Structure 1
Amino acid sequence: MCSHTLLKRGKKWSALEPVKETLGHPVKEEKLKDIKLLLSKLGITQHHHAMPFWQKVFSNPDAVNDSSDDDSEIL
């Protein structure tokens, strides 16, 4: 039997601290509506393997930008 470690020499799993995951730039509410519509048209339901990612995007208040009058940036 062979054993390997993913940690550097002398490091312990208990010393690792998780880093908060960021989703990037805010997404406009209109864009989120379009994504939800496309997902439903493609037949992607709650049980699809890609849905955990989209659920994070839809439920993250920091990822939503409600300023629909700013057309200078294309998302």
Structure 2
Amino acid sequence: MQKIVNNKIILFLIAFTLWSTAAFADDDPGGIDGDPGAPAPIDNWIPLMIVVGIAIVFYYTHKKKKAIAN
């Protein structure tokens, strides 16, 4: 049962990560720091955040497996 729950969590995280890559910055976000013409460049950070998220998942999975083995 625990393995099924873990598989569902992993599938949910993968699906959410793939779904969140479709988030793009608005062409005219209404301003940053008082400048109404300044765009919000979040598109540049999405690939980095995906990599960081996957790294965190692997880190905590490894940490949990190590704790269970001890």
- For this structure pair, what is the TM-score category when the shorter chain's length is used for normalisation? 0.3 to 0.5
Which protein has the larger Cα radius of gyration, Structure 1 or Structure 2? 1
Higher strand share: 1
Give me the TM-score of the superposition, normalised by structure 2. Answer: 0.33
Larger RCO (alpha carbons 8 Å, 6+ apart): 1
Give me the TM-score of the superposition, normalised by structure 1. Answer: 0.32
Higher helix share: 2
